Amino acid sequence: MNKYRTQYHISRYFLHVFIFMVLCPVVTQSIVAQTDKSAISSEDTFLDEKAQRKFDYYFFEGLNAKTQEKYAEAFDFFRHCYAIDSTNANVLVELGTFYNVLDEKSRALDLYKKAVSYDPENFYYNMLLAALSKEMGQKQQVIDVLEFLLQKYPEKIDLNMQLAQAYADNGELKKAINALNNLEKAVGITDNITLYKFQLYSMLNQKEKAFKEIEQIINENPDDPRYLILMGDLYMQDNQPNKAIEYYNKAKSINPNFPSLILSMANYYDKIGDKQASEKALLSAITNPDMEVDNKLELLSRYIAVIQQNKGDIKSVNPLFETLFEQHPHNAKLNMIYGTVLMAQDNKSEAMKQFEIYTAANPDDPAGYEQMIRAALPDSLDKVVQITEQALQFIPDAWQFYFYLGGAKYQQGKYEEALKVFQDGLKNAKIENPLVEADFYGQIGDLYHFLGNNQAAFESYEKSLKLNPQNLPVLNNYSYYLSLEKRDLDKAEQMSSITVKAEPTNPTYLDTYAWILYEQGAYTMAKIYIENAVKYSENEPSAEILEHYGDILFKTGEPEKALEQWKKAKELGSDSKTLDEKIRTGKLVEPNTNIKNK
């Protein structure tokens, strides 16, 4: 079965749709708010009555089409508007937004600049220009726009934060601090401003001023332990543990059980090399019956991590869970954490019990079922089937459980059942990632091949590759099965070459490429690739690869060496229907075209 990859990626297509759905209604709202139907065209451009009516028609048709998510039509309407009046700021912004989404950033930037030049005081247009300028690395342009806007709209005080960031991006750290000071005068001392100023002073190597910023917020909130802990943490980051402990002790005098203080103290003990004190601090807090359970769970995870970092015996935490279960008998999160700990101890059966308790309490949470599957694999495919079928009863749109269920039935040899599962997954699951959808089609293609319907298999592979042209397992299987049918060998060679370039030490991909070259009659080149396949499969020898090696050696005029490889393939338990005949006669026999999935 193909190896399934779990990384999530968002294709450009889906990103475009998202941006249009989110951004374009805002654009429309802004434009409609600033224009009326009788004055859409630029004041600098005088259109006759006929041209004005035509412009108005195209513009509002464009807005309507965009509202209905008919983006191609909207784009065409706005381009018609541009042909009539290329100085209209509304149209320039609309087209700029389209080109931005289409990744034609330079063109979009030019259109935004023109829009601002025709409507220089429009706040929204200037902000679009600043955002795209920042994205394109035009730092001074961002500063110029924000400085102008602050001068024109001094009441928009939040612009100071963006201006500070723009100054900082441009290396003008003192100006950034001044912008933050202006913001602070307007809104008062806040966490975000203070921390940002601390960062900027630190970058200027003005540590005294940096820490003075935190002192300022501590003075504003003398009874809040959070800021004392923050100061201690910052001193820890600055490699000053002696200073840090002063602030931790002040925080302790306010609230000795404050969760973040306990974590900070544990880090402090780690820093000074007192591992036992670190564990003791965490353990004391975790077993404190007065502490909130959610805080305990956070500290518990940290405690387990400390033990693992110190290479302690993970089993030592087991008694701790007994205490916690007594204190919080109905908190299933504890069961989930305990199950994870038991998995680290390779105690899958007990871990499964904990995951089952969690899942019974949280039947709509996929995490419980996923952990149960982890505990069941690779020992019990029947259990995986049971778990995934249960999961789909509660979460019928979770694609991963269709994939697990289909994969389990696949490995059980229940190909027709597996095929239906993957097909149901495509129909019922919520699949937002095209790479995941591509993998579904890839599995469907493999199953059709096993069921003897190669035409349907090839159609599924085509759908998969349309969604993900770099799907290596699909490229490999598709090209290999084409070679077995001795059809479209040039296409097969092109697809297989992609896999070899991507993973030049993968013996399966090398074997496929060698076999396609063999079918094309390029025996010398085939020998080079099959020998690499043999080399990289030495740790796990493959009967199929060795049989192919023998066939290629026979074609390159080395029958004795060919016979040697055929015999090795036989020793590995090959199920090839032609191998015995090859060994008996010492001659090449037409290969089996029903070789199992690679």
Return the pLDDT at 292: 76
CA angle at residue 249 from 246 to 255, to 5 degrees?
145
Return the pLDDT at 310: 64
Return the pLDDT at 303: 74
What lies within 8 Å, CB to CB, of 1 at 6+ separation is 407, 410, 411, 443, 446, 597
Nearest to 486 by CA among 449, 458, 516, 523: 516
pTM (two decimals)? 0.58
Return the pLDDT at 312: 67
Dist. CA 382–CA 386, nearest whole Å: 6
Nearest to 66 by CA among 10, 23, 13, 107: 23
Domains of the chain: 12-136 (1.25.40.10), 472-598 (1.25.40.10)
Return the pLDDT at 143: 93
**Helices (DSSP H) in 119-224: which residue ranges?**
123-135, 139-152, 159-169, 173-187, 191-203, 207-220
Instruction: Summarize pLDDT for 58-112 with one digit per residue, the tens.
Output: 999 999 999 888 988 999 999 999 999 999 999 999 999 999 988 899 999 999 9
Return the pLDDT at 265: 86
Helical pair 472-484 and 489-502, crossing angle rounded to 10 deg: 150
Return the pLDDT at 175: 92
Nearest to 166 by CA among 149, 147, 150: 147
Return the pLDDT at 137: 92
Give residue for tokens 């505990």: 375
Query: With contact defined as beta carbons under 8 Å apart, do 270 and 278 qualify?
Result: yes
Assigned token pair, 214: 């935190």
Nearest to 442 by CA among 424, 420, 464: 464
Return the pLDDT at 1: 39
**Helices (DSSP H) in 68-138: which residue ranges?**
71-84, 89-101, 105-118, 123-135
**Helices (DSSP H) in 365-453: which residue ranges?**
366-376, 381-394, 399-411, 415-428, 434-450
DSSP state letter for 545: H
Return the pLDDT at 426: 95
Sites in the chain below the pLDDT cut of 50: 1-43, 592-597
Nearest to 35 by CA among 18, 55, 19, 50: 55
Return the pLDDT at 47: 80
Quickly count helices (H) and strands (E) in the chain: 32, 0
